[in-house]
Amino acid sequence: MDILKINNLFASYGDKEVLKDLSMNIKKNKITAIIGPSGCGKSTLLTALNLMIEENGGNFAGEILFKDKDILSYEKNDIRRMIGIVFQKPTPFPFSIYKNLTYAPIYYGTKDKKELNNIVKATLKEAGLFHEINEDLNMLATKLSGGQQQRLCIARALTVKPEVLLLDEPCSALDIKNTQNIEEMLLKFSQDYTIIIVTHNLAQAKRISDYTAFILDGELIEYEETEEMFTNPKDRRTKEYIEGIYG
Amino acid sequence: MSEKTKDFIFKTWIIISTVIVFTVVIYIFGYIFKNGIGSINLEFIFSDPKGMPIGSEGGVFPAIVGSLFLMLIACIFASILAISTSIYTVFYCRSKRIESIIHLIVQSMAGIPSIVLGLFGYTLLVLHLRLGRSLLSGGITLGIMIFPYIEVRVEKTLREVDKAIIGSSYALGVSKAHTISKLILPLCKADIISAITMAGGFAMGASAPIILTAAVIFAPIPKSLFAPVMALPFHLYILTGEGISLEKAYGTALVLIMILLIINITSVVLNMKRRDDR
């Protein structure tokens, strides 16, 4: 089943057109990787999907359907709750770990202390952080290591129970061990969430994704099952990129 | 001239300037301390002014309390307006033109001579709105005076908050209002309080705005917002201007400067604490 349908999407920042006539459908509970050289519009595509593009001063034309309904017909904040995003640079709030994870649930009306504790525990376990931090929930989130901060941000995105999780090069600032942690975590998540991950790292796309989309200069060049894409690319440009000809 | 000589002249000039400023500040403090310490004792701090003409004997207690009250009201009034204005300019104002108009107005406000503000407060608050010469009129007038100082600093602090962190809050579907009140303001708390205290010290030392709006030669500790008050800078002005007692005037000046010093140190410490937190 397709949870997201993107039809003829154009996106731009001011005069600069970043995405040109992009159409693709995203399968539910699968991991879709988006690859392409820097500045090709990968991140813009992600930010369009949960309307964060507006906060960054961009806009888009075309149609994005979430569960067969135009995302613009939802409340902006509802869309962002259902389609969560994790950015490239870890952005923990400079509060305690506990406060990072209760921030959004409290906003959505969860007041019961016990329920909040459960959310914190559950999401920390999902992100594989619970034991690492020795259950010290009052620790300042900014004191965590880079990898832990990023996993905390993923946990924070999970606290509002999203259906789709967008990840914008979540591992680009992390070492191998932390990258591995996050990859394992994402593989586990795909049972419950639809994941779209933008990555520079082709090996990563190959390791974890079910589908891969290749974008070049704002255009979707090829969108295939990952296996097929990497063994038998149909487009010359995809082949060249995979073989390392473009940056 | 060689680069080396230029460098030397520049360095010397900077060092000399710094030394001059330090000397002047220390001299002022030392001079007031030397002349004022003689009249300072518990009685001076904790009793009413007495004698004929009033102030030639006794203490300055009602003036200390009056000044603190004036500062408090000015801070409350100014910070509510200043924080709201900065939140509007940073997070809600979408037009660059309106933003620059706001900045222009704030800057012009900072340039209004304080005696003119006093005159304005007297006409509008004391006469038209019939608040009388009172704690409230004086507090509001001082509030208008310190508003731009608080606004500029709070606005700067708000702009310094990491955009990515704010974005993460929006990305969770959290509204702007909630993001501002539960994430951004708590992050800026120490800096905002520091700005308010610093401005409060400025308000406390000002005499021109309160001459016409609040201060009187003698009043007991005010029991309501509508009562006139004594204030340290005005008391100092009367003691010297009317030639009542130079000795008591130095004492008053020392008390005033000590209070301001405490306020400013608090402000600096808060500011340093905030930098450590980040």
pLDDT in tens, B192-208: 999 999 999 999 999 99
Does residue A213 sit within a domain? yes
> CB B172 to CB A87 under 8 A?
no
Cβ contacts of A189 within 8 Å, gap of 6 or more: A126, A165, A195
Q: How many helices (H) and strands (E) does chain A have?
A: 9, 10
Domain parsing of chain B, residue ranges: 3-39, 42-277
Residue A162 backbone class (left: φ over 0; alpha: ψ -120 to 50; beta: rest):
beta
Please provide residue B180's backbone torsions phi and psi, each rounded to the nearest 5 degrees: -70, -45
Please classify residue B180 by burial: count the beta carbons closer than 10 Å to its beta carbon, then call 0-12 exposed, 13-18 middle and 19+ buried: buried
Indicate the helix (H) or strand (E) that contains A178: helix A176-189
Q: Does the structure show a pLDDT above 70 at B10?
A: yes
Angle separating helix axes A176-189 and A113-126, nearest 10 degrees: 120
d(CA A7, CA A4): 10
pLDDT in tens, B140-173: 999 999 999 999 999 999 999 999 999 999 999 9
pLDDT in tens, B268-277: 888 787 665 5
> CB B172 to CB A80 under 8 A?
yes
- The domain B42-277 having CATH identifier 3.40.50.2000: the answer here is no
Check if the beta carbon of residue A167 is closer than 8 Å to that of residue A86: yes
List the one residue out of B185, B180, B189, B201 whose CA is nearest residue B266: B201
In the prediction, which pLDDT does A244 show? 78
Of A52, A94, A153, the CB nearest to B170: A52
Mean pLDDT on A63-76: 92
Mean pLDDT on A213-242: 91
Which CATH number is A36's domain given?
A: 3.40.50.300
Does residue A181 sit within a domain? yes
Does residue A55 sit within a domain? yes
Does residue A64 sit within a domain? yes
Domain holding A16, by residue range, is 2-91+163-242
> CB A52 to CB B167 under 8 A?
yes
Does residue A149 sit within a domain? no
Indicate the helix (H) or strand (E) that contains B236: helix B232-241
Q: Does the structure show a pLDDT above 90 at B185?
A: yes
Does residue A75 sit within a domain? yes
In the prediction, which pLDDT does B274 show? 64
List the one residue out of B209, B60, B90, B278 whose CA is nearest residue A92: B278
State the CB neighbour count (10 A cutoff) for residue A173.
15
Residues from A contacting B (CB-CB < 8 Å) are: 50, 52, 55-56, 76-81, 84-85, 87, 89, 91, 93-95, 103-104, 107-108, 153, 156-157, 159-160
CB contacts of A103 in chain B (<8 Å) are: 169, 172, 174, 182-183
Q: How high is the mean pLDDT of chain A?
A: 90
Quick one: pLDDT band at residue A173, thresholds 50, 70, 90?
Answer: confident
Sheet holding A2-13, edge to edge: A16-27, A2-13, A59-66, A69-70
Does residue A130 sit within a domain? no
Domain count, chain A: 1
d(CA B230, CA B54): 12
Quick one: pLDDT band at residue A246, thresholds 50, 70, 90?
Answer: low
